[in-house]
Amino acid sequence: MEQFTAPFSRQDFGEHFLWGVVISAFQNEGACDADGKGRSIWDEFTSRKGKIKDGTNALIANDFYNRYREDIRLVKQLGFDVFRFSISWPRILPQGTGAVNPEGIAFYHRVIDACLEEGLTPYITLYHWDLPHVLELKGGWCHRGVIFAFEEYVRICMKEYGDKVKNWVVMNEPFGFTSLGYMLGVHAPGKFGVSYFLPAVHHVLLAQAAGAKVIREMVKGANIGTTLSCSYIYPYSQQEADIQAAKKADALFNRLFLEPVLGMGYPVDDFPLLRRIERRYALWRDWDQLSFDFDFIGVQNYFPLVVRRNAFMPVVGISEVKPKARRVPTTALGWEISGEGLYAILKQYAAYKGIKKLIVTESGAAFADIMSEGKVDDRDRVSYFEEYLSGVLKAKREGIPVEGYFAWTLTDNFEWAEGYRARFGLVHVDLETQRRTIKRSGYWFRELLHKEMVSGRK
């Protein structure tokens, strides 16, 4: 297959820049009830008719549970240094707390050992959306007890894996799973309304800090981070109403889960609705428990947002709109492609004094991949990565402390409410045979990363 040459080299990003690729437990593992695993909120959600757009489920997914060695070898083959994956909470604790599942513990030991044998650095995410269903029956993230359950789960993981793994991600996109799952109802557990969203936000932040403190206490030399979904916000026009709408959207999408971590409290001035957390869901002692001195913040940016004021939109009073007077390229999901947007959000986050370093812990694109003659020519995805990495390089050259880029995702997988119709992988997966086929984008990364690795040895 014809190769594309990137407009930059690995060396342009520096010797210590991290190159990684990402998967998650629920989206990849399958084996939904194998070897003692408990049921998660996503197991429950996908069993409800009409919740997944293509009517599929993740009972098998792409079978990482049985094919992890093959997939980890692919990570190495493509030239990456880091493999980021998540641990399934209900695989470790089938009832959310209490009795530990030894088969689940053993599985992640095998995955970690396989990474280390291949010379890969594991970055492990502790929570990537698959809450044990038994905890949801008690209220899930809306119930304060989940904080203590999460802390227990983290302690078990640190006891088991902390001597092998030093790089930990506490939460994956807390705004994503609280807004989509506890306010809009389109993701698990399918709850709808502000009365679910606000307590979930508060309890997630408390659990995040509590879990991070456990890691710091138990793992010597730990490198601890958490990841935030974020989108640079543009006002639709320069009218005051749209400018204020952009500030409100920024408070919700980009600052809600960042500023409390930095000891700044909730961004109530720009999003007054958040005062309800203070009045209804917070205890007096909570305010000292929201913050943590993270070693890095993970930035997960896929698209920018253009917003304008909409007085008819309930609760938020804003709407996402198409850019004014300009056409933009988009992915198969209609997401705007903008490396400049990634650069802008990196610059915005780097302005916070409490942030030590940034890692782009997810970045990728879905396109309508077509296999022809045993090959997948996803040149649109190659162009996407070129643009987004150019945004990272621009930030880095300006002194912004961005120290890594992790591509989403290694293999096509179960993409939450989209099912299997949204393909993000560098590697194509035939869901009937589970055969893996490296796409053009995978070869592109291999050329970029291996070429400079070889030249660097000379």
Tokens encoding 404: 């890594």
For tokens 């659990």, name the residue.
207
Distance CA 163, CA 5 (A): 40
Listed in sequence order, the DSSP H helices in 162-300 are 174-182, 194-218, 240-250, 275-276
Containing H/E element for 318? strand 318-320
Active-site entry in 29, 136, 160, 173? 173
Amino acid (1-letter code) at residue 72: I
Helix (H, G, I), strand (E, B) or coil at 337: coil
Closest alpha carbon to 185 in 50, 31, 342: 50
Distance CA 203, CA 174 (A): 11
Active-site entry in 136, 362, 387, 415? 362
* 8 Å CB contact between 65 and 29: yes
Is 173 tagged catalytic? yes
For tokens 């589970």, name the residue.
434
Helix (H, G, I), strand (E, B) or coil at 296: strand
Closest alpha carbon to 358 in 367, 377, 345, 371: 345
Is 29 tagged catalytic? no
Angle at which helix 194-218 crosses helix 174-182, to 10 degrees, equals 150
CA 371 distance to own-chain centroid: 27
* 8 Å CB contact between 407 and 20: yes
Distance CA 249, CA 267 (A): 11
Distance CA 185, CA 438 (A): 35
If you count them, how many residues does the chain have?
A: 458
Instruction: Output the CA angle 383-384-390, nearest 5 degrees.
Output: 90
Q: Across 363-441, where does the E strand assignment appear?
A: 371-372, 375-376, 402-408, 427-429, 436-438
Region of residue 85 (phi > 0: left; psi between -120 and 50: alpha; otherwise: beta)? beta
The two beta strands, 436-438 and 427-429, are: antiparallel
DSSP result, 400-422: --EEEEEEE-SB----GGGTTSS
Distance CA 142, CA 25 (A): 23
Distance CA 154, CA 307 (A): 38
| Residues with catalytic roles | 173, 362
